[in-house]
């Protein structure tokens, strides 16, 4: 068990830092509130069943539940998924915990979908595939990093879209790829 030591920093230090870093705190807060945030993940581990539309495995279900837990306090306002069992099943725990319906998007039209995401304020969870998730990150102006490997399920892209551009954070979650 890893314990993290927390240190309290006086609020005045935080305000001073924010003023130095951002010019003024109200400007920084306004920029964040205007941002659209897109969380991109590949579907969780699939259970091979010999079909072209397999469900997720037991490990995939655990990863799907982990996504819901990770994003519990993220303020998700939209959930988007392709129309395949593995993406819908990966999004189901987040849909259930937020009460949001999953909207189907066309993975064959990532540029059009990227335009719709840019035009729709909020915080979006997008569930995709190994061949579409990095492409969508790039279509949104983000950094796609390297291609996703066939058995790699632990990537979580966090793209922040503002009027001045897109920032990308690539995180890893759950059982790491290669374990």
Residue 103 has pLDDT above 80, yes or no: yes
Among the CATH numbers 3.30.565.10, 3.90.1150.10, 3.40.50.1240, 3.40.1080.10, which is that of 34-172?
3.40.50.1240
The answer to which of 27-41, 57-71, 146-160 has the lowest mean pLDDT is 27-41
Q: Structure tokens of 130?
A: 């190994």
Range 144-157 average pLDDT: 96
Residue 123 has pLDDT above 90, yes or no: yes
pLDDT of residue 4: 31
Domains in the chain: boundaries:
34-172
**Residue 117 backbone dihedrals phi, psi, to 5 degrees:** -65, -45
Residue 31 has pLDDT above 60, yes or no: no
Identify whether the C-beta of residue 146 lies closer than 8 Å to the C-beta of residue 124: no
Among the listed residues 80, 123, 83, the one whose alpha carbon sits nearest the alpha carbon of residue 103: 80
Q: Structure tokens of 66?
A: 């982990």
Residue 165 has pLDDT above 60, yes or no: yes
- Give the C-alpha separation, 126 to 140, whole Å: 12
Confidence bin at 179 (pLDDT 50/70/90): low
Q: What contacts 94, CB < 8 A, 6 or more positions away?
A: 64, 67, 68, 71, 76, 79, 100, 125
Helix, strand, or coil (residue 41):
strand
Confidence bin at 177 (pLDDT 50/70/90): confident
């Amino acid at each position: 068990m890893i314990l993290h030591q927390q240190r309290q920093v006086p609020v005045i230090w935080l305000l001073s830092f924010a003023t130095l870093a951002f010019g003024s705190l109200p400007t920084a807060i306004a920029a964040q509130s205007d941002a659209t945030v897109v969380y991109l993940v590949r579907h969780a581990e699939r259970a091979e069943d010999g079909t072209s539309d397999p469900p997720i495995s037991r490990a995939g279900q655990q990863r799907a539940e982990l996504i819901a837990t990770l994003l519990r306090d993220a303020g998700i306002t939209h959930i988007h998924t392709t129309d395949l069992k593995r993406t819908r099943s990966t999004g189901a725990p987040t849909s259930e915990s937020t009460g949001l319906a999953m909207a189907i998007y066309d993975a064959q039209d990532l540029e059009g979908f990227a335009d719709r995401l840019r035009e729709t304020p909020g915080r979006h969870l997008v569930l995709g595939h190994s061949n579409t998730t990095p492409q969508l990150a790039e279509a949104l102006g983000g950094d796609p990093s390297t291609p996703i490997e066939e058995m790699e399920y632990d990537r979580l892209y966090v793209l922040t879209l503002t009027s001045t551009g897109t920032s990308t954070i690539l995180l890893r979650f759950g059982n790491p790829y290669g374990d």
